[in-house]
Structure 1
């Protein structure tokens, strides 16, 4: 169908402006919005139309349509096997890079790496730093490996839960970073906006603290490490309390001034 027909059809069904329709279309087809303004008679495929409707009707993420997300200036492949990285996680990586530079950290691990954006972004910025990453999902690890190769960095990926894949080398690790599952189960069940993303990457249990309770059990191995975690602004104080026996806790804000990150440094 022609672009004019598509806009008319979508506008009538969803009551949204032509500009918003074209903006979404430009993301799906990876074209500048000006293309559609100049080429009003261009043909739009049925597949693109169906994706557009699915996005508007069901909230299906555009990133899973395009199989691409931009993160700190690099394009990463994503699909329904991995979480879509948010801008807050860019803040987490920037904090990590500053910490690595400040403390002269040589060895970093990223737990629950998903598409690999954290580990790969750190390695790309700091190529001399040893970076390892893990995920419980074999499908996620394959995507992370693909992204590392695509972006030309050497990150070692392991399959496993929490710290388990790194126990043999934990004495060498200086910084542990993670954007773990921290969303409360009840919120996931109520929110259609999260229904397409892998639940294993989101669900932190009834109180959102399952991962943090698990990592706290390794506290005897972590008292000499730096740790940096992303969590929810609504449960960050609860998370801080759970992790307080590991080391000195700081709660840090994201770029929207929301209390989002837990930074743990050794007691000295």
Structure 2
């Protein structure tokens, strides 16, 4: 017996609801849209169209993965960020809307006319430097990550978005393997580092703690380990008056500002995200 799109959606929604998924219907629609390569309107217009057995089986495998908690982005293998499509998997943090605000601020601070070089520390999928390189013609970027697997994804993303000629990738534990050729050569250093306290990892949503890389989440005992290291070491690479920009946890503003002050950064500012939470701290090298 074959089922229509509408019947399949009802069944899939029921499966997800039984597993407590709060957006069961939306998840079911998004996954079916992906399998059928339909947009939302096409899905509605073809609601009475029958689905063949092979397609149904593939779709229900996706639904079972979602029922087990796997993020939608890992199931379909991609996420949109800044209007650009990025491949993601279990080796990379899923790009989030809050980080788009980090990129938007960086774009506003970069000079419109002069060539500039940006370094992204903890690049993951490469969403930050690839977005900057795509949206700013006079910018080249360096993406740094400790994970070779994450850098494979970042390199792939730079290729599919046609900016690989503007990107350099370095596998490094922060600055340990960064060459002397970058000393005093960076106009902007940007980072969305791990900032979750180690003890708080276990209370994160299952979709996050069970499927996203802990190396991209765990910021140490107080969540500030990476901010300390970056603030202490970044000045070597930044040009005079270069910018340093951080995404932060909602309750880390004062601590990150103090770390920047201790390392002689000036003109320190904090920007709230769209939900009104402190989200970005940025400063200038003195």
Same fold (TM over 0.5): yes
Q: Structure 2 matches for 1:57-136, cutoff 5 A?
A: 57-101=67-111, 104=114, 106-136=116-146
More displaced stretch, 44-53 vs 84-93: 44-53
Is structure 2 residue 215 aligned with structure 1 residue 203?
Answer: no
Q: Note the C-alpha offset of 1:159.
A: 0.5
Aligned residues: 266
Q: 2 CA distance for matches of 1:17 and 1:133?
A: 34
Shift of 1:183: 1.5
Question: CA–CA distance in 2 between the matches of 1:150 and 1:66?
Answer: 17
Correspondence 1:166 to 2:178: yes
Q: Mark the runs of 5 or more structure 1 residues left unpaired by the alignment.
A: none
User: How large is the Cα RMSD of the aligned pairs?
Assistant: 2.4
* 1:103 CA drift (Å): 9.2
SS at 2:142 equivalent: strand
Task: Please name the residue that 1:176 is paired with.
Answer: 189
> For structure 1, which segment, 186-195 or 220-229, has the greater mean C-alpha deviation from structure 2 after superposition?
220-229
Relative to structure 1, the CA distance from residue 9 to residue 219 in structure 2 (aligned partners, 3 Å threshold; closer, same or farther) is: closer
Q: Specify whether residues 259 and 21 from structure 1 end up closer, same or farther in structure 2 by C-alpha distance, changes over 3 A only.
A: closer
CA distance in 1, matches of 2:94, 2:13: 28
- Tell me how far apart the structure 2 counterparts of residues 128 and 103 of structure 1 sit (CA, whole Å): 7
Using structure 2 for the length normalisation, give the TM-score.
0.84
- What secondary structure is seen at the aligned counterpart in 2 of 1:211? helix
Find 1:20's aligned residue among 15, 21, 26. 26
Structure 2 gap ranges (5+): none
Contact 2:185 2:239 in 1 (8 A): no
Q: Which residue of structure 1 aligns with residue 281 of structure 2? A: 262
Is the Cα–Cα contact under 8 Å of residues 32 and 59 in structure 2 kept in the other structure? no
